[in-house]
């Protein structure tokens, strides 16, 4: 089966964007969880909100362009 190489590239871009979004979401969760009351205290991290990550993974698994 010959597939258009643009379809593969689009899929690669979607994976890259989803990966970036997940890492950005993780970073934002860490930044929001830091306590800035005292500069000498070690920053506290709150539990990350993984709701966005679950939405991205669900959207990718329903993608018609996914190989498999």
67 occurs within a structural domain: no
30 occurs within a structural domain: yes
Statement: residue 18 has pLDDT above 80: yes
68 occurs within a structural domain: no
Question: What is the number of domains present in the chain?
Answer: 1
- Per the CB < 8 A criterion, the answer to whether 52 and 25 are in contact is yes
50 occurs within a structural domain: yes
Q: Identify the pLDDT of residue 56.
A: 75
Q: Which domain holds residue 39?
A: 5-61
9 occurs within a structural domain: yes
State pTM to two decimals: 0.45
- Per the CB < 8 A criterion, the answer to whether 60 and 15 are in contact is yes
Q: Tens digit of pLDDT for each residue in 44-57?
A: 666 667 777 777 77
Spatial distance between the Cα atoms of 52 and 28, rounded to a whole number of angstroms: 12
29 occurs within a structural domain: yes
- Per the CB < 8 A criterion, the answer to whether 56 and 22 are in contact is yes
């Amino acid at each position: 089966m010959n597939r258009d190489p643009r379809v593969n590239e689009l899929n690669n871009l979607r994976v890259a964007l989803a990966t970036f979004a997940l890492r950005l979401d993780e970073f934002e969760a860490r930044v929001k969880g830091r306590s800035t009351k005292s500069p000498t205290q070690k920053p506290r991290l709150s539990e990350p909100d993984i709701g966005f990550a679950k939405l991205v993974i669900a959207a990718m698994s329903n993608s018609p362009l996914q190989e498999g």
